[in-house]
Amino acid sequence: DIQMTQSPSSLSASVGDRVTITCRASQSISNYLNWYQQKPGKAPKLLIYDASSLQSGVPSRFSGSGSGTDFTLTISSLQPEDFATYYCQQGYSMPYSFGQGTKLEIK
C-alpha cells in the first residue's frame, strides 16, 4: 500500500499569510494526487485534483504543484474561512490512501 505523509500536522497562521502544506508519497504516484478541505462536522471538499488543477468554484488563492512523490498545497493569502483541516489523497492505486491531515489554526 502507498503511504502518504503530510507536514506539518498543524500550523498556526494569520489572515493574509502565505501557507504551504506538503505531502509525500512512499512511491511515485505521477500526478494522481488530490487535496481536500474539511471543516468540523462537514464532509471533505475537493480543492485540487490531478495535483495542480483547481476545482470549479474554488478560490484562485489555492494552488497545487508537484509530481512523482512530492506535492504541495499553497494558499497565497489566508482568509478567515480557510481555517480548517487539509488532506491529500493518492488515486494511483487501491487503497486510495490519505495523508494524516494538516490542521490550520488562527494565530
Contact flag: residue 51 with another protein (CB under 8 A):
yes
Q: Are β-strands 53-54 and 62-67 bridged in parallel, bridged antiparallel, or unpaired?
A: unpaired
Give least dist CB 16 to another protein, A: 28
Contact flag: residue 3 with another protein (CB under 8 A):
no
Give least dist CB 96 to another protein, A: 5
Rg, Å, the chain Cα set: 13
Contact flag: residue 100 with another protein (CB under 8 A):
yes
Q: Which of 19, 32, 71, 78 is close enough to bind another protein by CB under 8 A?
A: 32
> Grid coordinates representing 87?
488532506
Contact flag: residue 36 with another protein (CB under 8 A):
yes
Contact flag: residue 24 with another protein (CB under 8 A):
no
Give least dist CB 26 to another protein, A: 15
- What span, in angstroms and rounded, lies between the C-alpha atoms of 51 and 17? 22
- What span, in angstroms and rounded, lies between the C-alpha atoms of 26 and 5? 8
DSSP state of 55: P
Quick check: helix, strand or coil at residue 22? strand
Binding site for another protein (CB under 8 A): 31-34, 36, 42-46, 49-51, 87, 89-92, 94-101
